[in-house]
């Protein structure tokens, strides 16, 4: 081991050189003498160890492979990884039945040759392997050890370095210490103080070890080195990194000293404490052991990593003064270390061991934390619920703590020398909150059968006492002294690396209650860490409020940062022992962000009282002026830190929050500004609540409550009770606390913690003492007001996004994804209303008291259901279990973190790059070849230059028409100079195919959806475009110079020239009319647009179109913020929610989305994925990460809205029926009578119209998180005639016919009478014929017809005669 800062002058160089020369001279003869023997036989044939040679990598490999083959019943050889130069990191596992994991055997490991030129350990561990294997079955000690221990031995962690080293090099002068990348492996592990400072790619050996350590959960370990003779134990470094002389004590310091002493006392040289190394003759170690940091500081060491992050206690053994002694020394070194090596392995069987099981079904509980009172270092159970807690002899109280289970404490556990105490735990699930605690006698007693052991099961926050057992009935109960919570021990300023290690340490040490995550990164790529502390920290528990603290928003205001780290330590170390802390942690999910501005902190200066250095982020923007404001337009671009926080706040239903600042001493509450921008009181609707929670903090801080914060700096400043309205102090537009209140359910205040922004480190204990009680009391405020659940009366399921309104307070909150809510209120009686889309609102009264939260649950009835929750009358579709399962999936993916979790669990390996037409075509064909069951590739047509426009369908039955399934279209590349969409859709298709059959959610979505992907509409333009051209129009048009998004016209009268071939191909696709949704990807902006592109005064169904665009934008990490920041195209303004009508962005005629709406009857949104049209290749991975979730959200969204079947009374489906939505938009039923329409959440009217049938009307309720409910519309035959009821028409017709018959009879009678008179006249005429003949002959000038018509026409002539006469 390389000794940093060792006194080299103590050993004269001449003495060292002379010693090395003589040693070389003595052993070289022996080495030459043995050379012939070595070369005469192969290593594989060498079954008897000679202890006189080093094995190089090849020989080592052959040797241990041979041993593994020879002893397969107790030996298994494997590699955990490779070195830089590709050599295997061999590990020999030695135990009975080495190929399986058997519960009850603790895991032990030895690691040698970490420094390549420290070689004794390499050979000694090979000898140990041989010894254990050959002595098994012969030596009872070895047999017992192998049978009961899972032993892992790694002879060489640094095989590359060994190959470089030279035998006889005692001081490491010839290299080989480091790996092939020249990195010291024992300075490369994550350090508790400095974090990770080494590129993982440079230390594959370390990364392999870390993975191995995390997977195996070793109990005890030894790391073998060379360079002196001593056993070194943690910690290896300290926060101060003092080079020598600083004792860095761990929580298990006594145990580590015992283990190190055990090794040294069995080593004849080590136990003397006088290594007598030639280069450090004066160096001594008491009893042959040393604390690592006291010897010299080693940051990034492996032994500390094992202890802090691996469940494992490890010490470091230095075996010899000479790092690479001649081989003749090896037998001696084996003899010196053999007993120590064996005795140390045996110590894996001390302390307490046992199993943790579930009370109901007896199953093993993994990752249960085992806590030992007084030792603040926990470990966790393994895969069989087994644990092994090494402890020195003594009496202990041990607690098992698991998420969702009642913790169990066993008192007076006796640990004896030489054998482990068996102690099993049985944990019961938490089913309800119960005040007080239950003390019971354990049913699973330790093997010691000690009558004084008792077990305490804690189901709440109250303290418990040791209960005298039956054997102590005569004894009086002994009550412990009043509990004093453990306080933070180390106060210092933590830089970023120090803070990171602190957080990782506590997350690892207390995994049952602490979970570390990052919400994003700063400008300079530092993680924005959040530690969540709760009894079930990784999930939102129904009914448990979410609380947060945010510190260090201004980088030079550092007190909040340090207080929050202190608070993390305080909560973790006092959980389970302190009543108040346990209660808070069990009933609150507490999120703590120590630093929102880590970049600013790194440039701030200790001692800064009222300066500005480091206040802003790295882009020099004040983060507390960077949030959207209700009164002032914030023109500065949103910063990465701001974006990360807003996304965070929208993803978790926070109830209460505080933003910790510095520079004064006061609690500041909303509003922070007002309309006029003047310094005056700006009251929020919840002004009384804000005053209450603000006083709760200030009253626990005596200096703050006094109201005179900084008399030396600001002598005239005074705050009544230590609180103030923000705008009444001074105006802060763009502040975070107002944004919380106005945009989420969260009430936030800003707490100024002290007059100095960056006080000296020695002042930090004072700040903790002043604020400790206040920090805890403020968290308690989250448990005030009213809380409860809003559920559906039919099935009791929670209703998410229901609105909770309080009469007289103009500020509503909404329910979380399981229907739970929390509404902070001051004491009083309130009228509270719960309402939700599609439900009848419910009002009740609630009385809020001062110290408790009032539980108010609501059960809502769906609209059009009776009070008992019955469904409306009429035909109802039957629902099979599979449909219910799918509806549950849609709900899960629509609520909470469902979609985010799907994204995070379906990562695919990818190497993003732009692909030209040929490679794109090959990739699409490759998908069909590799996934033929779910893909089908079609040509829609060809471009001007005869490139094929491909359409890829993804479905479980791609060649079949399935009209009952919704069909969604994804298109890209209409502008060839914006090819990002093409890359995203190709990756999206690949992602879906790869995860089909592997991920249940993806598989089900594909099975239930017909997905059509058109990655490139304009392949000719794409071939002309150039990468890294953010604004260039080259490639925008097709080969004819036509912008294809201006070429979609459905009416011939609107078209001047023939449609482009690309346009015609897409028009034919759109006219299929079977699509429910279309998503087009473009570039040059960061916004989602909805129809229309053409200028129109109003848009039918605009609410739905805008909603669909907002679904995409809300799932995009940046788009929904509305801050595009596209300076390259002038798009700099804030776009509300990142959504706008397309015509407002750039109005034009002939767009694809307008054609889809008007002629395809399919809503289409256009998503502009980024400001740059053709960004560099290296940005594609980020763009995919940003758009993966939104694209998946479209697959979920297409299953919502309303769907159903139209049929007649006989059940015959009606094709071509018109479904009119809200009196405007129309969709048509397809084959099988199916229809599907997407609608915004809310109530909607549906009319169904078909020729020959009566029109039908229904009202439906659409949810934002539920799959479309199927409805059946049954038509009756149309009984109307000319739009009038058939009965009325028939009656009217009958009456009309009767009237006609009567009229005809009357006319006939009249005509008959007239006819008789006419006949009489002619008779008389004939009688006087002779008299009149001459007169007639003279006067008649015309025909007989003339005579009849003129001379002799009678009034009674018939209608027919008159008609005939008029026609002549």
Type and span of the H or E element at 318: strand 313-320
Residues 6+ positions from 1296 with CB-CB distance below 8 Å: none
In angstroms, the first-to-last Cα distance of the chain is: 136
- Selection from 951, 948, 1081 nearest residue 1018 by Cα: 948
Distance CA 785, CA 806 (A): 11
Buried b (16+ CB within 10 A) or exposed e, 1121-1136: bbbbbbeeeebeebbe
Distance CA 505, CA 305 (A): 10
Neighbours of 480 (CB within 10 A): 8
- Selection from 790, 797, 791 nearest residue 822 by Cα: 790
Beta-strand runs (E) in 556-695? 589-593, 654-661, 664-669
For tokens 């397969």, the residue is 72
Distance CA 733, CA 238 (A): 44
Distance CA 651, CA 658 (A): 18
For tokens 């049209």, the residue is 1173
Distance CA 715, CA 699 (A): 22
Helices 980-995/917-930 angle, 10° precision: 10
DSSP bridge partners of 379: 370
Q: Which two tokens stand for residue 392?
A: 């020195």
Q: Which two tokens stand for residue 210?
A: 């870390």
Q: Are 1087 and 1135 in contact (CB under 8 A)?
A: yes
- Selection from 283, 275, 349 nearest residue 319 by Cα: 275
Distance CA 1085, CA 1154 (A): 20
Distance CA 701, CA 704 (A): 5
Q: How many residues does the chain have?
A: 1368
Neighbours of 1027 (CB within 10 A): 11
Neighbours of 1266 (CB within 10 A): 20
Beta-strand runs (E) in 903-947? 935-942
**Phi and psi angles of residue 223, each rounded to the nearest 5 degrees, phi first:** -115, 115
Residues 6+ positions from 1128 with CB-CB distance below 8 Å: 1030, 1031, 1171, 1172
Give a three-class secondary structure readout of 630-652. CCCCCCCCCCHHHHHHHHHHHHC
**Phi and psi angles of residue 949, each rounded to the nearest 5 degrees, phi first:** -100, 110
Q: Which two tokens stand for residue 1119?
A: 């788009």
Positive or negative torsion for Cα 762, 765, 771, 776: positive
Per-residue CA distances from 422 to 149, 355, 379, 470, 1258 (Å): 16, 9, 16, 21, 69
DSSP bridge partners of 751: 660, 667
Q: Which two tokens stand for residue 790?
A: 């809003």
Does the annotation count 205 as an active-site position?
no
Query: Catalytic: which of 118, 562, 752, 953?
Result: 752
Beta-strand runs (E) in 621-746? 654-661, 664-669, 723-725
Query: Catalytic: which of 118, 130, 318, 1164?
Result: 318
Does the annotation count 919 as an active-site position?
no
DSSP bridge partners of 195: 191
Beta-strand runs (E) in 688-841? 723-725, 747-754, 785-792, 803-806, 809-814, 820-823, 828-835, 839-840
Q: Which residues are catalytic?
A: 318, 752
């Amino acid at each position: 081991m390389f000794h940093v800062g060792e006194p080299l002058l103590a050993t004269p160089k001449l003495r060292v050189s002379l010693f090395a020369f003589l040693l070389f001279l003595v052993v070289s003869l022996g080495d030459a003498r043995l050379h012939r023997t070595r070369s005469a036989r192969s290593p594989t044939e060498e079954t008897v160890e000679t202890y006189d040679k080093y094995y190089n990598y090849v020989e080592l490999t052959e040797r241990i492979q041979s041993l593994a083959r020879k002893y397969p019943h107790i030996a298994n050889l494997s590699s955990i990884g490779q070195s830089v130069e590709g050599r295997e990191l061999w590990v020999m596992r030695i135990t009975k039945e080495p190929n399986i994991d058997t519960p009850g055997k603790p895991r032990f490991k030895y690691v040698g040759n970490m420094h390549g030129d420290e070689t004794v350990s390499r050979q000694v561990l090979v000898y140990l392997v041989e010894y254990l294997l050959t002595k098994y079955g012969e030596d009872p000690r070895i047999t017992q050890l192998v049978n009961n221990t899972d032993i892992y031995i790694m002879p060489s962690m640094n095989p590359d370095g060994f190959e470089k080293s030279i035998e006889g090099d005692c001081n490491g002068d010839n290299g080989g210490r480091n790996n092939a990348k020249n990195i010291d492996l024992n300075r490369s592990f994550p350090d508790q103080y400095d974090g990770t400072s080494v590129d993982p790619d440079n230390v594959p050996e370390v990364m392999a070890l870390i993975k191995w350590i995390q997977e195996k959960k070793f109990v005890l370990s030894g790391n073998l080195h060379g360079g002196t003779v001593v056993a070194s134990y943690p910690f290896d470094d300290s926060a101060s990194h003092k080079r020598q002389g600083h004792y860095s004590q761990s929580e298990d310091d006594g145990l580590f000293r015992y283990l190190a002493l055990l090794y040294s006392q069995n080593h004849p040289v080590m136990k003397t404490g006088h290594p007598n190394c030639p280069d450090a003759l004066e160096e001594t170690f008491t009893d042959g052991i040393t604390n690592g940091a006291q010897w010299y500081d080693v940051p990034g060491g492996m032994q500390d990593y094992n202890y802090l992050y691996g469940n494992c206690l490890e010490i470091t053994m230095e075996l010899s003064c000479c790092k690479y002694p001649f081989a003749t020394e090896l037998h001696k070194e084996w003899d010196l270390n053999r007993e120590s090596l064996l005795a140390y392995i045996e110590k894996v069987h001390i302390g307490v061991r046992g199993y943790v099981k579930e009370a109901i079904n007896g199953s093993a509980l993994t990752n249960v934390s085992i806590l030992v009172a007084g030792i603040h270092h926990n470990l966790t159970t393994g895969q069989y619920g087994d644990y092994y807690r090494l402890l020195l002899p003594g009496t202990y109280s041990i607690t098992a703590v698991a998420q969702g289970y009642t913790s169990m404490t066993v008192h007076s556990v006796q640990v004896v020398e030489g054998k482990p105490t068996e102690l099993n735990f049985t944990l019961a699930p938490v089913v309800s909150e119960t005040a007080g605690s239950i003390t019971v006698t354990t049913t699973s007693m330790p093997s010691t059968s000690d009558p004084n052991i008792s077990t305490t099961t804690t189901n709440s926050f109250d303290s418990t006492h040791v209960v005298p057992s039956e054997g102590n009935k005569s004894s009086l109960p002994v009550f412990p002294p009043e509990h004093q919570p453990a306080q933070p021990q180390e106060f210092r300023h933590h830089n970023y690396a120090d803070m990171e290690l602190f957080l990782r340490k506590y997350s690892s040490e207390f995994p049952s209650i602490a979970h570390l995550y990052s919400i994003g990164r700063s400008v300079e790529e530092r993680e924005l860490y959040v530690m969540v502390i709760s009894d079930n920290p990784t999930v939102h528990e129904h009914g448990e409020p979410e609380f947060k603290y945010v510190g260090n928003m201004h980088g030079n205001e550092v007190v909040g940062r340090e207080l929050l780290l202190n608070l993390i330590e305080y909560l973790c170390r006092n959980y389970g022992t302190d009543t108040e802390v346990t209660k808070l942690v069990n009933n609150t999910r507490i999120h703590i962000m120590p630093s929102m501005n880590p970049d600013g902190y790194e440039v701030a200066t200790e001692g800064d009282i009222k300066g500005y250095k480091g206040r802003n982020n790295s882009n020099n923007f004040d983060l507390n002026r960077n949030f959207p404001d209700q009164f002032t337009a914030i023109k500065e671009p949103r910063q990465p830190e701001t974006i990360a926080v807003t996304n965070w706040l929208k993803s978790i239903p926070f109830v209460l929050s505080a933003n910790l600042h510095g520079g004064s001493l006061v609690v500041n509450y909303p509003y922070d500004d007002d309309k006029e921008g003047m310094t005056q009181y700006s009251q929020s609707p919840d002004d009384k609540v804000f005053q209450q929670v603000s006083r709760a903090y200030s009253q626990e801080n005596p200096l703050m409550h006094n109201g005179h914060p900084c008399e030396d700096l600001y002598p005239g400043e005074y705050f009544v009770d230590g609180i103030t309205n923000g705008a009444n102090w001074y105006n802060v537009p763009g502040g975070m606390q107002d944004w919380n209140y106005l945009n989420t359910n969260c009430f936030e205040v800003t707490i100024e913690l002290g007059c100095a922004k960056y006080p000296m480190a020695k002042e930090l204990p004072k700040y903790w003492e002043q604020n400790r009680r206040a920090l805890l009391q403020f968290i308690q405020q989250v448990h005030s007001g009213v809380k409860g659940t809003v559920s559906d009366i039919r099935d009791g399921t929670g209703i998410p996004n229901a609105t909770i309104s309080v009469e007289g307070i103009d500020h509503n909150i909404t329910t979380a994804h399981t229907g739970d809510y929390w509404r902070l209120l001051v004491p009083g009686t309130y009228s509270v209303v719960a309402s939700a889309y599609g439900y009848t609102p419910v009002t009740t009264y609630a009385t809020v008291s001062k110290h408790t939260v009032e539980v108010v649950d609501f059960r809502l009835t769906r609209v059009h259901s009776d009070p008992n929750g019955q469904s409306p009358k009429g035909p109802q579709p039957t629902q099979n279990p599979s449909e219910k399962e799918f509806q549950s999936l849609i709900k899960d993916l629509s609520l909470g973190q469902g979609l985010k979790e799907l994204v995070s669990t379906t990562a695919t390996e990818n190497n993003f790059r732009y692909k030209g037409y040929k490679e794109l075509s090959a990739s699409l064909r490759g998908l069909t070849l590799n996934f033929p069951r779910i893909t089908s590739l079609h040509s829609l047509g060809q471009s001007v230059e005869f490139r094929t426009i491909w359409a890829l369908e993804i479905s479980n039955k791609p060649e079949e028409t399935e009209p009952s399934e919704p069909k969604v279209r994804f298109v890209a590349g209409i502008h060839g100079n914006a090819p990002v969409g093409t890359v995203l859709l190709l990756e999206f298709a690949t992602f879906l195919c790869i995860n089909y059959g592997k991920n249940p959610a993806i598989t089900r979505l594909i099975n239930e959806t017909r997905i059509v992907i058109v990655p490139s509409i304009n392949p000719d333009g794409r071939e002309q475009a150039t990468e890294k051209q953010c604004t260039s129009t080259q490639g925008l048009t097709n080969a004819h110079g036509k912008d294809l998004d201006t070429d979609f016209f459905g009416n011939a009268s609107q078209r001047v020239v023939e449609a482009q071939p690309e346009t015609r191909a897409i028009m034919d696709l759109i006219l299929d009319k079977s699509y429910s949704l279309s998503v087009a990807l473009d570039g040059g902006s960061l916004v989602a647009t909805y129809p229309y592109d053409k200028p129109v005064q109003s848009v039918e169904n605009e609410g739905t179109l805008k909603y669909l665009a907002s679904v995409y934008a809300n799932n995009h990490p940046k788009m929904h913020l509305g801050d595009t920041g596209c300076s390259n195209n002038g798009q700099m303004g804030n776009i509300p929610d990142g959504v706008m009508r397309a015509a407002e962005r750039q109005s034009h005629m002939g767009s694809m989305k307008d054609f889809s709406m008007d002629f395809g009857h399919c809503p289409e949104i256009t998503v502009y994925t980024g400001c740059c049209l053709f960004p560099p290749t290296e940005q594609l991975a980020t763009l995919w990460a940003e758009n993966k979730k939104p694209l998946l959200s479209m697959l979920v969204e297409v299953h919502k809205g309303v769907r159903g079947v139209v049929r007649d009374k006989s059940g015959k489906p009606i094709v071509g029926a018109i479904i009119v939505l809200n009196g405007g938009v129309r969709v048509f039923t397809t084959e099988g009578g199916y229809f599907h329409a997407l609608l915004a959440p809310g109530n909607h009217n549906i009319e169904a119209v078909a020729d020959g049938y009566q029109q039908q009307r229904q009202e439906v309720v659409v949810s934002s998180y539920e799959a479309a409910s199927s409805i059946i519309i049954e038509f009756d035959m149309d009984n109307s005639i000319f739009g009038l009821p058939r009965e009325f028409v028939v009656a009217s017709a009958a009456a009309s016919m009767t009237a006609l018959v009567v009229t005809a009879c009357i006319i006939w009678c009249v005509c008959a009478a007239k006819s008789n008179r006419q006949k009489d006249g002619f008779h008389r005429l004939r009688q006087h014929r002779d008299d009149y003949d001459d007169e007639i002959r003279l006067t008649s000038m015309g025909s007989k017809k003339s005579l009849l018509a003129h001379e002799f026409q009678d009034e009674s002539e018939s209608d027919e005669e008159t008609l005939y006469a008029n026609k002549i």
